[in-house]
Amino acid sequence: MRYRTIGDTTVSAIGLGAMPLSIEHRPDEARAIATVHAALDAGITLIDTADSYHWHADETGHNELLIARALARYGGDTSDVLIATKGGRGRPGDGSWTVTGSPAHLKRAAEASARRLGVDAIGLYQLHKPDPAVPWAESVGALRELLDAGVIRAAGISNVSTGQIREAHEILGDGLVSVQNRYSAAVRDGEPEVRLSARLGLAFLPWSPLGGISRSSLDGPSGQTSADTAFHHIAAEHGVSPQQVALAWLLARSPAVIPVPGASRPASVRDSARAATLRLSAEELTRLEAPGRPDASS
């Protein structure tokens, strides 16, 4: 496993996105726990969750509770595992997502997440999405209060623009350690946010990092993936999965990038973890520059 940093914390270069373990089409608990344990066995020390990662309306925090149980049942040392959770979104139970970024809600949500995770302070707490009904500075100000109160150790923001990153950095200073936006082989419009994160010393955690290679849990049954791109051709040349190539490509984009691919099976998370040791040549990276197109060298 290779390692990178989030703030002053060293974590595995590949994390586990735990959302598929709790939303629609989720596995049973035995397989979900086995998936988390497989991640830990593979050297993964970053687990990404959120209070809104659940299926039904009455099970807020399902994923956080699941992660807490998985860690408690693990036979090895978990003291170096960073749990990154998020607040500010909700799921009414009809498949939709809501946004609530008021300071009062965020503070209550963080305190509830800490209780579910069984921790005195959350290692990394991320504002899940800007709320258009709440001034950005007010939502970020709630993170500042949570930091000052010791409810969270570090703060992150998600689904944000470069302007919102700069404003949050002004408010939070060193307390801001991460940005989590969508970024993948198929969705590359996050390049400005990746570059700014690196300049500010922030980790960039791509969500849905396998877009274009594997269907995201957010895409629904109709989600489409490609099957004839440079990612697939280079994977065949290395004898690995296209998913590993996609993650290795992300790692090569910037030292700030720490992908958090989702998984619902032990085999999937083991495959993702192996991407940390896959080195792509300069020639291969050039071939991967054209998103979604057939391999120009073929």
Active-site amino acid positions: 53
C-alpha 189/C-alpha 192 separation (Å) is 8
C-alpha 145/C-alpha 172 separation (Å) is 10
C-alpha 215/C-alpha 224 separation (Å) is 7
List 90's β-bridge partners, or say none: 98
The string of DSSP letters for 93-119 reads SSS--EE---HHHHHHHHHHHHHHHT-
Burial class from Cβ neighbours inside 10 Å (0-12, 13-18, 19+) for residue 57 reads exposed
Whether residue 22 contacts residue 63, with contact meaning beta carbons closer than 8 Å, is answered with yes
The string of DSSP letters for 135-160 reads -HHHHHHHHHHHHHHTSBS-EEEES-
C-alpha 193/C-alpha 180 separation (Å) is 9
